[in-house]
Structure 1
Amino acid sequence: MSVTITHAARPTDAQREAILAPLRAYNLREGGNPGLVPVALLLTDADRTEHGGLWGKISYDWLFIELLAVPDSLRGQGHGEALMHKAEAIARDHGCAGIWLDTYAFQARGFYEKLGYTVFGTLDDHPRGQSRFFLQKRL
Protein backbone atom coordinates (compact mmCIF):
# COMPACT_ATOMS: atom_id res chain seq x y z
CA MET A 1 0.00 0.00 0.00
CA SER A 2 1.35 3.40 -0.94
CA VAL A 3 0.42 6.37 1.28
CA THR A 4 1.23 10.06 1.53
CA ILE A 5 1.07 12.46 4.47
CA THR A 6 -1.62 15.12 4.26
CA HIS A 7 -2.24 17.97 6.68
CA ALA A 8 -5.87 18.41 7.72
CA ALA A 9 -6.14 22.13 8.37
CA ARG A 10 -9.57 21.64 9.94
CA PRO A 11 -9.58 18.06 11.27
CA THR A 12 -12.90 16.28 11.62
CA ASP A 13 -14.12 13.75 14.17
CA ALA A 14 -13.93 11.11 11.43
CA GLN A 15 -10.26 11.91 10.83
CA ARG A 16 -9.54 11.65 14.54
CA GLU A 17 -11.27 8.28 14.57
CA ALA A 18 -9.15 7.15 11.58
CA ILE A 19 -6.07 7.82 13.71
CA LEU A 20 -7.52 6.46 16.94
CA ALA A 21 -8.92 3.17 15.57
CA PRO A 22 -5.59 1.41 14.87
CA LEU A 23 -4.11 2.75 18.13
CA ARG A 24 -7.11 1.49 20.09
CA ALA A 25 -6.84 -1.94 18.44
CA TYR A 26 -3.09 -2.15 19.17
CA ASN A 27 -3.53 -1.08 22.81
CA LEU A 28 -6.31 -3.58 23.34
CA ARG A 29 -4.21 -6.37 21.85
CA GLU A 30 -1.01 -5.48 23.75
CA GLY A 31 -2.30 -3.96 27.00
CA GLY A 32 -5.68 -5.59 27.44
CA ASN A 33 -8.96 -3.90 28.11
CA PRO A 34 -8.26 -0.42 29.52
CA GLY A 35 -11.54 -0.44 31.48
CA LEU A 36 -12.33 3.06 30.25
CA VAL A 37 -14.69 4.94 32.59
CA PRO A 38 -15.42 8.64 32.01
CA VAL A 39 -15.49 10.85 35.12
CA ALA A 40 -17.37 14.18 35.21
CA LEU A 41 -17.98 16.13 38.41
CA LEU A 42 -19.89 19.39 37.98
CA LEU A 43 -20.32 22.44 40.17
CA THR A 44 -24.06 23.03 39.85
CA ASP A 45 -26.12 25.82 41.42
CA ALA A 46 -29.73 25.74 42.65
CA ASP A 47 -30.97 26.55 39.11
CA ARG A 48 -29.02 23.51 37.83
CA THR A 49 -26.61 25.77 35.96
CA GLU A 50 -23.16 24.20 35.67
CA HIS A 51 -20.18 26.35 36.69
CA GLY A 52 -17.04 24.33 36.08
CA GLY A 53 -15.93 21.10 37.66
CA LEU A 54 -13.64 18.16 36.95
CA TRP A 55 -13.33 16.04 33.80
CA GLY A 56 -11.29 12.88 33.47
CA LYS A 57 -11.20 9.20 32.68
CA ILE A 58 -10.17 5.97 34.30
CA SER A 59 -7.98 3.88 32.02
CA TYR A 60 -5.58 1.03 32.79
CA ASP A 61 -6.22 1.33 36.54
CA TRP A 62 -5.37 5.04 36.81
CA LEU A 63 -7.61 8.11 36.86
CA PHE A 64 -6.35 10.85 34.54
CA ILE A 65 -7.73 14.27 35.42
CA GLU A 66 -7.83 16.18 32.16
CA LEU A 67 -9.62 19.32 33.35
CA LEU A 68 -10.26 21.02 36.68
CA ALA A 69 -11.92 24.43 36.52
CA VAL A 70 -13.41 26.55 39.28
CA PRO A 71 -14.63 29.99 38.15
CA ASP A 72 -13.07 33.03 39.81
CA SER A 73 -16.36 33.77 41.60
CA LEU A 74 -16.24 30.37 43.37
CA ARG A 75 -12.53 30.18 44.19
CA GLY A 76 -11.29 30.13 47.76
CA GLN A 77 -14.38 28.30 49.01
CA GLY A 78 -13.00 24.75 48.97
CA HIS A 79 -14.68 23.64 45.74
CA GLY A 80 -11.44 22.59 44.03
CA GLU A 81 -10.38 20.51 47.00
CA ALA A 82 -13.86 18.97 47.26
CA LEU A 83 -13.77 18.04 43.56
CA MET A 84 -10.37 16.41 43.99
CA HIS A 85 -11.49 14.45 47.06
CA LYS A 86 -14.59 13.23 45.21
CA ALA A 87 -12.45 12.19 42.22
CA GLU A 88 -10.12 10.33 44.57
CA ALA A 89 -13.09 8.50 46.11
CA ILE A 90 -14.28 7.49 42.64
CA ALA A 91 -10.79 6.26 41.75
CA ARG A 92 -10.62 4.22 44.95
CA ASP A 93 -14.08 2.74 44.28
CA HIS A 94 -12.79 1.59 40.87
CA GLY A 95 -9.67 0.06 42.39
CA CYS A 96 -7.29 2.53 40.76
CA ALA A 97 -3.59 2.43 41.60
CA GLY A 98 -3.45 6.23 41.46
CA ILE A 99 -4.37 9.52 39.85
CA TRP A 100 -2.32 11.61 37.43
CA LEU A 101 -2.72 15.04 35.89
CA ASP A 102 -0.77 17.92 34.43
CA THR A 103 -0.67 21.64 35.16
CA TYR A 104 1.30 24.67 34.03
CA ALA A 105 3.65 26.74 36.20
CA PHE A 106 1.11 29.58 36.07
CA GLN A 107 -1.73 27.31 37.22
CA ALA A 108 -2.08 25.12 40.30
CA ARG A 109 1.02 23.04 41.02
CA GLY A 110 1.05 24.10 44.70
CA PHE A 111 -2.63 23.27 45.06
CA TYR A 112 -2.04 19.70 43.88
CA GLU A 113 1.09 19.25 45.97
CA LYS A 114 -0.87 20.37 49.05
CA LEU A 115 -3.23 17.47 48.28
CA GLY A 116 -0.38 14.95 48.21
CA TYR A 117 0.52 14.92 44.50
CA THR A 118 4.17 14.73 43.47
CA VAL A 119 5.86 15.79 40.24
CA PHE A 120 7.03 12.91 38.07
CA GLY A 121 7.89 14.92 34.99
CA THR A 122 8.51 18.45 33.75
CA LEU A 123 8.30 19.88 30.25
CA ASP A 124 10.27 23.13 30.14
CA ASP A 125 9.47 25.97 27.73
CA HIS A 126 5.83 24.98 27.45
CA PRO A 127 4.88 27.73 26.93
CA ARG A 128 8.26 29.37 26.35
CA GLY A 129 9.69 30.64 29.58
CA GLN A 130 7.25 28.51 31.60
CA SER A 131 6.95 24.83 32.48
CA ARG A 132 4.30 22.14 32.40
CA PHE A 133 4.31 19.69 35.30
CA PHE A 134 3.03 16.12 35.41
CA LEU A 135 1.91 15.00 38.85
CA GLN A 136 0.70 11.75 40.38
CA LYS A 137 -0.76 10.49 43.60
CA ARG A 138 -0.73 6.81 44.44
CA LEU A 139 -3.79 5.51 46.23
Structure 2
Amino acid sequence: MFEIKKSDIEKNEKKIIAVLNEQYTQSFTGNEPLTAKTISISAIKDEKWLGGAVASLFGNTLHLSLLGVEQSHRHESIGSRLIEAVQQEAMENQCLYMTVNTQDYQARRFYEKYGFDVFASVEDMPFVGTTKFYLKKQLSSQ
Protein backbone atom coordinates (compact mmCIF):
# COMPACT_ATOMS: atom_id res chain seq x y z
CA MET A 1 0.00 0.00 0.00
CA PHE A 2 1.20 3.53 -0.67
CA GLU A 3 0.24 6.92 0.69
CA ILE A 4 -0.28 10.29 -0.94
CA LYS A 5 1.20 13.19 1.00
CA LYS A 6 2.77 16.61 0.65
CA SER A 7 6.50 16.48 0.01
CA ASP A 8 9.63 18.59 -0.36
CA ILE A 9 9.28 20.44 -3.68
CA GLU A 10 12.96 20.27 -4.69
CA LYS A 11 13.22 16.51 -4.14
CA ASN A 12 9.86 15.89 -5.79
CA GLU A 13 10.68 18.03 -8.86
CA LYS A 14 14.04 16.29 -9.27
CA LYS A 15 12.44 12.84 -9.24
CA ILE A 16 9.61 13.85 -11.60
CA ILE A 17 12.09 15.34 -14.06
CA ALA A 18 14.16 12.14 -13.94
CA VAL A 19 11.07 10.04 -14.76
CA LEU A 20 10.07 12.37 -17.61
CA ASN A 21 13.61 12.38 -18.99
CA GLU A 22 13.64 8.59 -18.97
CA GLN A 23 10.40 8.56 -20.98
CA TYR A 24 11.78 11.24 -23.32
CA THR A 25 15.02 9.42 -24.07
CA GLN A 26 13.18 6.14 -24.60
CA SER A 27 10.73 7.77 -27.00
CA PHE A 28 13.28 9.81 -28.94
CA THR A 29 16.49 7.79 -28.97
CA GLY A 30 19.67 9.75 -29.39
CA ASN A 31 18.44 12.85 -27.62
CA GLU A 32 19.99 14.09 -24.44
CA PRO A 33 17.81 14.23 -21.31
CA LEU A 34 15.90 17.47 -20.88
CA THR A 35 16.93 19.73 -18.05
CA ALA A 36 14.79 22.29 -16.29
CA LYS A 37 16.24 25.66 -15.43
CA THR A 38 14.71 28.51 -13.46
CA ILE A 39 15.57 32.09 -14.30
CA SER A 40 15.10 34.95 -11.84
CA ILE A 41 15.58 38.58 -12.93
CA SER A 42 15.08 41.71 -10.81
CA ALA A 43 14.99 45.44 -11.44
CA ILE A 44 16.98 47.19 -8.71
CA LYS A 45 17.65 50.89 -8.08
CA ASP A 46 19.75 52.09 -5.17
CA GLU A 47 19.55 48.57 -3.69
CA LYS A 48 15.73 48.74 -3.71
CA TRP A 49 13.71 46.04 -5.50
CA LEU A 50 11.40 47.62 -8.09
CA GLY A 51 10.15 44.55 -9.90
CA GLY A 52 11.03 41.08 -11.02
CA ALA A 53 10.38 38.10 -13.24
CA VAL A 54 10.69 34.35 -12.75
CA ALA A 55 10.62 31.91 -15.66
CA SER A 56 11.19 28.21 -16.25
CA LEU A 57 13.08 26.75 -19.19
CA PHE A 58 12.19 23.23 -20.27
CA GLY A 59 12.86 21.78 -23.68
CA ASN A 60 12.34 24.45 -26.32
CA THR A 61 10.00 26.58 -24.23
CA LEU A 62 10.38 29.30 -21.62
CA HIS A 63 7.34 29.78 -19.38
CA LEU A 64 7.12 33.17 -17.68
CA SER A 65 5.51 32.23 -14.39
CA LEU A 66 5.77 35.52 -12.48
CA LEU A 67 6.22 39.18 -13.43
CA GLY A 68 5.48 42.07 -11.12
CA VAL A 69 6.42 45.71 -10.63
CA GLU A 70 5.94 47.78 -7.47
CA GLN A 71 2.85 49.96 -7.81
CA SER A 72 4.85 53.16 -7.22
CA HIS A 73 7.21 52.33 -10.12
CA ARG A 74 4.73 51.33 -12.80
CA HIS A 75 4.84 53.23 -16.10
CA GLU A 76 8.65 53.50 -15.87
CA SER A 77 9.25 50.75 -18.48
CA ILE A 78 10.37 48.29 -15.79
CA GLY A 79 7.94 45.59 -16.96
CA SER A 80 9.06 46.14 -20.55
CA ARG A 81 12.71 45.80 -19.64
CA LEU A 82 12.00 42.66 -17.60
CA ILE A 83 10.08 40.98 -20.44
CA GLU A 84 12.88 41.89 -22.86
CA ALA A 85 15.47 40.36 -20.49
CA VAL A 86 13.41 37.19 -20.13
CA GLN A 87 13.03 36.94 -23.90
CA GLN A 88 16.79 37.38 -24.30
CA GLU A 89 17.31 34.46 -21.90
CA ALA A 90 14.89 32.37 -23.97
CA MET A 91 16.75 33.15 -27.18
CA GLU A 92 20.16 32.46 -25.61
CA ASN A 93 18.78 29.04 -24.61
CA GLN A 94 17.52 28.35 -28.16
CA CYS A 95 13.87 28.39 -27.14
CA LEU A 96 11.30 28.35 -29.92
CA TYR A 97 8.44 29.52 -27.71
CA MET A 98 7.57 31.60 -24.69
CA THR A 99 4.35 31.08 -22.75
CA VAL A 100 2.58 33.01 -20.00
CA ASN A 101 -0.82 33.10 -18.39
CA THR A 102 -2.66 36.05 -16.94
CA GLN A 103 -6.06 37.08 -15.63
CA ASP A 104 -8.49 39.41 -17.41
CA TYR A 105 -7.83 42.06 -14.74
CA GLN A 106 -4.04 41.80 -15.09
CA ALA A 107 -1.68 42.13 -18.05
CA ARG A 108 -3.20 40.54 -21.18
CA ARG A 109 -2.74 43.71 -23.28
CA PHE A 110 0.81 44.13 -22.00
CA TYR A 111 1.80 40.66 -23.22
CA GLU A 112 -0.02 41.12 -26.53
CA LYS A 113 1.99 44.33 -27.02
CA TYR A 114 5.13 42.15 -26.88
CA GLY A 115 3.90 39.68 -29.50
CA PHE A 116 2.08 37.11 -27.38
CA ASP A 117 -1.16 35.64 -28.76
CA VAL A 118 -3.98 34.08 -26.75
CA PHE A 119 -4.32 30.38 -27.54
CA ALA A 120 -6.78 29.44 -24.80
CA SER A 121 -8.94 30.92 -22.08
CA VAL A 122 -10.99 29.56 -19.21
CA GLU A 123 -13.90 31.50 -17.74
CA ASP A 124 -14.56 31.59 -14.00
CA MET A 125 -10.96 30.60 -13.22
CA PRO A 126 -9.62 30.92 -10.58
CA PHE A 127 -12.62 32.94 -9.41
CA VAL A 128 -16.19 33.22 -10.68
CA GLY A 129 -16.43 36.30 -12.86
CA THR A 130 -12.80 36.25 -14.04
CA THR A 131 -11.13 34.71 -17.07
CA LYS A 132 -7.67 33.19 -17.24
CA PHE A 133 -5.82 33.64 -20.54
CA TYR A 134 -3.01 31.45 -21.85
CA LEU A 135 -0.66 33.16 -24.29
CA LYS A 136 2.29 32.07 -26.40
CA LYS A 137 4.91 33.72 -28.54
CA GLN A 138 6.91 32.01 -31.25
CA LEU A 139 10.52 33.17 -31.10
CA SER A 140 11.89 31.58 -34.26
CA SER A 141 10.74 29.32 -37.06
CA GLN A 142 10.95 25.60 -36.46
Whether the TM-score (by the shorter chain) exceeds 0.5 is: yes
By how many angstroms is 1:83 displaced? Answer: 0.7
In the other structure, the counterpart of 2:24 is 31
1:1-139 alignment, distance < 5 Å: 2-5=1-4, 11-13=6-8, 16=9, 19-20=12-13, 22-32=15-25, 33-46=33-46, 48-126=47-125, 127-139=127-139
Once the two structures are superposed, residues 28-87 of structure 1 have per-residue CA deviations (whole angstroms, 9 ceiling, x without a partner) of 1122422322211101112x2323211111111111111000111111111111111111
Deviates more, 1:24-33 or 1:57-66: 24-33
CA contact (8 A) 1:99 1:137 kept: yes
Q: CA RMSD in A?
A: 1.8
- How many angstroms apart in 2 are the aligned matches of 1:17 and 1:38? 12
| TM-score, reference length from structure 2 | 0.82
Cα distance, 1:24 vs structure 2? 2.2
Residues paired across the two proteins, number: 131
Tell me, yes or no, if the aligned pair for 1:34 and 1:61 is still in contact at 8 Å.
no
Aligned to 2:30: none
* 1:6-31 CA-partner distances (Å, limit 9, x unpaired): xx5xx452xx4575455323211122
TM-score (norm 1): 0.84
